[in-house]
Structure 1
Amino acid sequence: MTEQNTKLKRTWGESIQIYLHPRVLGMLFLGFSAGLPFLLIFSTLNVWLREAGVSRSEIGFFAWVGIAFSIKVLWAPLADNYRLPLLGRLGRRRSWMFLGQVGIIVGLVGMSMTDPTQDLAQMAIFALIVAFSSATQDVGLDAYRIEAIGIEHQGAMAANYQLGWRLGALVAGAGALYMAEYSSWFATYQAMAVLMSVGVITVFVVREPVIETNTEESQLEWEVTLQDRLSKGRGAVKDIAEITYRTVGRPFSEFVARNRSTAVIILVFICIYRISDIVMGNMAGPLYVDLGYSKTEIADVTKVFGFFATMAGAYIGGALLMRMGMLQLILLGAVLVVITNLFYAFLAQAGHNMPVLAFTVGADNFTAGLAGTAFIAYLSSLVNKSFTATQYGLFSSIMTLPGKFFSGFSGLIVDATDYTTFFLYASVMGIPAIFMVLYLIRLEKRQKRESLLERVFK
């Protein structure tokens, strides 16, 4: 398989000390700028819309705004091969992050000036601008995170990235709800736009990573033939064909060449791993409102308490990753996701019950942090640094696309049945991921045996 399957034997002290690496610490601020806009177009926005009287079916459709994150692979190749005009002086990675941040600020200001009861379509347009801009920021940020440091630090990078991301989400979640409770949604979204300056400043402070690339290894036979034919072409057609191959074809074919028969299996696994929690999360906000929880109660439990639960899961996941291996930790995460989603079905039956809400949110957020650390590190390990933005863009796009598509129908399901049925349905959607990771673990063991036999009889 790939490097993610190598277990690193370290002491607990060494596993914890890795978080003090300067570049690992630097991910806190970049993670904050990535996490801040996310909830403002999803759960926080859902609370605003539901409070304004927008139907659950219409709120469900807003999940499709998130498809922008699932198609960023379409422009990720540009970030691997081109610097933006003028902004390009910042470097490939930083210029794309900055462009995304400017778009986020514009979109948030537009949302703040829109009344969802008067113009829901305009609200959707500005939310879409935020989503596309945030996805663009992610393209540059993910590439920077992977290129800035070696694979042995990626678990810690993922954990610190999650801490920064969750801090941003905490501000956009609890902070936004507190502000909206005592002021207005207009002032709240204006304040969130100002806070994006944290990301803007960070982009100007961090250094552009310098990496060595090798695009010639692991070529397939058809690629050699194609390159030979391209070299014999002429004029504009030749130039367009070479650019298309270099920016799009080569990154994808390199992944296939490197992973051979397991490439399709890996891609299918990435597609289904997060379906359950993405689908479930779209109706969590409306559930809280319909059960009678105030914005302050939602902020206290789901955002503040949930933040600490997520960070506990993320950092425990980062330490466990150094000791037990990626796939084993990913399996644990997949099982816990199915179990914790069932708790929301119980919450729907319990009604307005703060202890049940705290237990449900705590378990769900701890699982999200643990599984998230493992999965981010896993995706990072699959990337060839010659094509960082393109390949990671592919993985992160297909990771969310199925979940975002199905979550668009979540409001229709709740309206046609009830919350309990919906959350049971969302939980069952996580079962295929468990079987897929079990298969990958089995495949990993078989490949290790074959590799050992090769060395013995060589």
Structure 2
Amino acid sequence: MASTGVSTATEAEKPPRPKGFRLLMVALRTRKSATMLGFGFSSGLPYALLLGTLNAWLGEVKIDLATIGVLSWIGLSYSFKFLWSPLVDRMALPGLEALGRRKSWILLCQIVLVLGFAGLAATDPAQAIGTFALFAFLAALASATQDVAVDAWRIDVADVDTPVELLSSIYQFGYRIASIVGGALALVMAGRMSWPLVYLLMAGLIGLICVVTLRAPDTPRPEQGTLHAALAQPGELTPNARGIALLIVGTSWAWAIGTIVRFMVVMLSPLGPGEKHPSVGDFTREFGPLIVAATVAVPLMVAAVTNAMRRQGRAVLTAPDTRRSAARTAANHLYVALIAPLAELVARLGWGVLVVIGMILTYTLCYNVWSSFAFPFYLDFLHYSKDEVAFASKVFGIFMTIAGISLGGYLFLRLGRMPTILIGAVLPMLGNFVYADLAEGAVHIDAVGKAIGLHTLFALFGFDPRMIRLLLAISFENISTGIAGAAFVAYLSGIVSKQYTAVQYALMSSLTFLIGSLGRGIAGEAFDLYGYATVFRWTAAAGLVAVLFVCAEWVRVARDTAVRPPDEAAA
């Protein structure tokens, strides 16, 4: 009891976590924290350049929105990155391993990013969109892989002087700086120089971070024999049974990814005389449900079957498995990454896992579907200048997002988890109606803005009515998505098991973007065919699916709380 009191007192004496400029000063004091700032910047810059700013370039050279939508599928690299995370964790890179087990992967990814951005700069998307897409995909793959290695590095190097919570805050600080550089600054630069030069300069920034990587500390690779010892205990599935489960899930994932890649290649390949590209809408309607089934339903069914086999004592170990090999260790990594987290979730939630997965898949749908088209919408359809969009979207908009995240945290404390999550599901739907109004002349935005005095307030800072409309729309959208994001991160953090915290969170957060990313292809085609306002209303209607899943999850949580013992429910 005494030790607990001392621990509590010590925790109470900890200074509050620094923020803003003070956080930057703390970040530059030590080698680890300064490195974390650089890694955060290196992670955030490619994401901003590839999934936002790149579409401004494509819109400027008159690439049709259907093609932009298909190209935005490179963002699935971030959704699927947990698939190869075991490889990043396990594989020693020949020639680079001497740098460190995490540094070697981070440096390799940064080199590929520099080459990818240089390739984009050297390619004219209007003349060679297929080659352009290949470089974009290469960069997105390197960026997603770098995120895996950086996340592992952050956890590995944390210590008493630089705890993981501080490193995580510094990482987010660097990431946000990169969002401004890759978004606002890149747009401002593009208004004064060519897009290829902008991307070359951004590649140069990644090149500078390579120097930070070379000087970064790292941790030794652990003994491989200690990995996943729990899988070798009696009662666990035999290696052969786990291998069959992995084969089924791996084949399912490979088919889904291969199907998407093949269609992207067809869509982005040059056309012959009289030929036309296949319909993105037809592909999404025909293969979209199958892709979701292959990446979600099949792994869930396999997880349920493995749980049943363990309960029934079929194909399980009867004695400790002492055999060791590189292939066995790699298979264990894959099993822990792809099947064990879902198996635990299915065992814990039962049929309720269908509600949870449904909610995860659809929660961000109505704003993820069209997010890749924001710059073409602002620049090419509404004809705002690059400087105006840079300020409104990437400077002013970031502050509105931070305000939304703060408000989401406050609502979470005041109202509770499920009410805040429901608010976060409803508000982005309304945000889509705001954007539909903006696309049609902003009659209602003007009326509401004038009625509550926001037009007068913004005018005091020198903004004209046209700019005020954009700022008001972005304000509502970013505050709404900030609330939704804060609520959903807190929800995911609460639903994961402590046994599989990192892997389970990575898997479920990746699934969050799956349907939205797939939907961008059909959204791009729909924007071309029906116009922005109509599609905004459709995506708002799609958000109703998320609302229904949130309500179902609220009922499930309430029932679960009611049947649990009082002490367990309180915990």
Gap change, CA 1:328 and 1:103, over 3 Å in 2:
farther
After the TM superposition, which residues 335-346 of structure 1 pair with which residues of structure 2 at under 5 Å, given as runs? 335-346=426-437
- For 2:382, the aligned partner's letter is L
Partner amino acid for 2:317? Answer: D
Does 1:286 pair with 2:376?
yes
Q: Is residue 373 of structure 2 the alignment partner of residue 298 of structure 1?
A: no
| Corresponding residue for residue 563 of structure 2 | 450
- For the pair shown, the structure with the greater C-alpha radius of gyration is 2
Deviation at 1:210, TM superposition (A): 12
After superposition, the CA RMSD in angstroms is 4.1
Post-superposition offset of 1:377: 3.8
Question: RCO greater where, 1 or 2, for CA within 8 Å and sep 6 or more?
Answer: 1
Which letter does structure 1 place at the counterpart of 2:429? V
Q: Which residue of 2 aligns with 1:252?
A: 342
Q: Distance in 1 between matches of 2:227 and 2:483?
A: 31
Cα pair 2:432 2:540 within 8 Å, conserved = yes
In structure 1, the residue matched to 2:539 is 426
User: Structure 1 residues 454 and 333 mapped into 2: Cα distance closer, same or farther (>3 Å)?
Assistant: closer
How far residue 407 of structure 1 moved from its aligned partner, in angstroms, is 0.8
Q: What is aligned with 1:73?
A: 82
Find the aligned partners of 2:209 and 2:496 in 1 and give their Cα distance. Answer: 25
Output the TM-score relative to the length of structure 1: 0.81
Distance 1:240 1:183 in 2: 48
Separation in 2, partners of 1:428, 1:238: 48
CA distance, structure 2, for counterparts of residue 93 and residue 381 of structure 1: 28
Tell me what 2:526 maps to.
413
Q: Percent identity?
A: 35
Structure 1 residues 17 and 431: alpha-carbon distance in aligned structure 2, compared to 1, 3 A threshold: farther
Quote the Cα distance in structure 2 between the aligned partners of 1:264 and 1:92: 38
The corresponding residue for 2:198 is 188
Residues 1:104 and 2:193 aligned together:
no
Stretch moving more, 209-218 or 121-130: 209-218
Whether contact under 8 Å (1:29, 1:198) holds in the other structure is: no
Q: How far off is 1:428 after superposition? A: 1.4
User: Does the Cα contact within 8 Å between 1:163 and 1:311 map onto a contact in 2?
Assistant: no
TM-score normalised by L of structure 2: 0.66
Alignment partner, residue 46 of structure 1 = 55
Taking the aligned partners of 1:293 and 1:59, their CA distance within structure 2 comes to 19
Q: Distance in 2 between matches of 1:416 and 1:121?
A: 23
| Separation of aligned partners in 2, 1:159 and 1:442 | 34
Q: Is the CA contact (8 Å cut-off) linking 2:59 and 2:376 kept in structure 1? A: yes
Which residue in 1 is equivalent to 2:255?
A: none
Segments of structure 1 that go 5 or more residues without pairing to the other structure are 1-12
Residue in 2 that maps onto 1:126:
135
Matching of residue 354 in structure 1 with residue 467 in structure 2: yes
Shift of 1:181: 0.9
- Corresponding letter in the other structure for 1:66: G
SS at match of 1:182: coil
1:100 and 1:137 in contact (8 A); partners too: yes
Give the equivalent residue in structure 1 for 2:510: 397
| Contact 1:276-1:430 within 8 A present in 2 as well | yes
| CA deviation profile, 1:186-211 (whole Å, cap 9, x unmatched) | 22111211222575466554666999
Q: How does 1:192-341 map to 2 (within 5 A)?
A: 192-197=202-207, 200=210, 205=216, 216=230, 220=307, 222-223=309-310, 225-228=314-317, 231=321, 245-246=335-336, 248-288=338-378, 289-318=380-409, 320-321=411-412, 324-341=415-432
Deviations 1:19-39 (A, max 9, x none): 559899756554432221123
Structure 1 residues 293-340: Cα deviation after superposition (integer angstroms, max 9, x where no partner): 111111121122112111222334345545554444322221211111
Q: Offset of 1:271 from its aligned partner?
A: 0.9
Give the secondary structure class of the aligned counterpart of 2:384.
Answer: coil
Give the Cα separation in 1 of the matches to 2:168 and 2:366: 21
Partner of 1:439: 552
- 8 Å Cα contact 1:77/1:390 also seen in 2: no
Q: Does 1:168 align with 2:257?
A: no
2:146 maps to amino acid: Q
**Does residue 492 of structure 2 align to residue 375 of structure 1?**
no
Q: What is the CA distance between 1:228 and its match in structure 2?
A: 1.1
State the alpha-carbon separation in 1 of the partners of residues 549 and 182 from structure 2: 34
Distance 1:91 1:266 in 2: 38
Task: Determine if contact 2:227/2:329 at 8 Å carries over to the other structure.
Answer: no
> Could you list the per-position Cα deviations for residues 366-399 of structure 1 after superposition, in whole angstroms to 9, with x for gaps in the alignment?
2222322332343344445665554333223211
How many residue pairs match? The answer is 442
Aligned equivalents of 1:443, 1:108: Cα separation in 2: 47
Displacement after TM superposition at 1:447 (Å): 2.0
Structure 1 counterpart of 2:112, one-letter code: G
- Shift of the alpha carbon at 1:64? 1.6
Superposition deviation, residue 413 in structure 1:
0.6
C-alpha separation in 2, matches of 1:342 and 1:155: 38
Partner of 2:123: helix, strand, or coil? coil
What code does the residue aligned with 2:182 have?
A: A
Describe the SS at the equivalent of 1:448: helix
**Within 2, Cα distance between the matches of 1:447 and 1:116?**
53
What is the SS of the residue equivalent to 2:440? helix
Quick check: 2:107–2:210 contact (8 Å CA) kept in 1?
Answer: yes
Q: Rate the CA distance shift 1:413–1:146 in 2: closer, same or farther, 3 A.
A: farther
Check 1:36–1:249 CA distance in 2 against 1; reply closer, same or farther (3 A cut). Answer: same
| Contact 1:280/1:341 (<8 A) preserved | no
Which region of structure 1 is more displaced relative to structure 2, 77-86 or 155-164? 155-164
Range with bigger deviation, 178-187 or 96-105: 96-105
Q: Does the Cα contact within 8 Å between 2:424 and 2:483 map onto a contact in 1?
A: yes
Residues 92, 271 of structure 1: CA spacing in aligned structure 2 closer, same or farther, 3 A cutoff?
Answer: farther
Cα gap change, 1:216 to 1:172, in 2 (>3 Å):
same
Task: List alignment gaps of at least 5 residues for structure 2.
Answer: 1-11, 28-32, 237-306, 443-464
> Corresponding residue for 2:290?
none
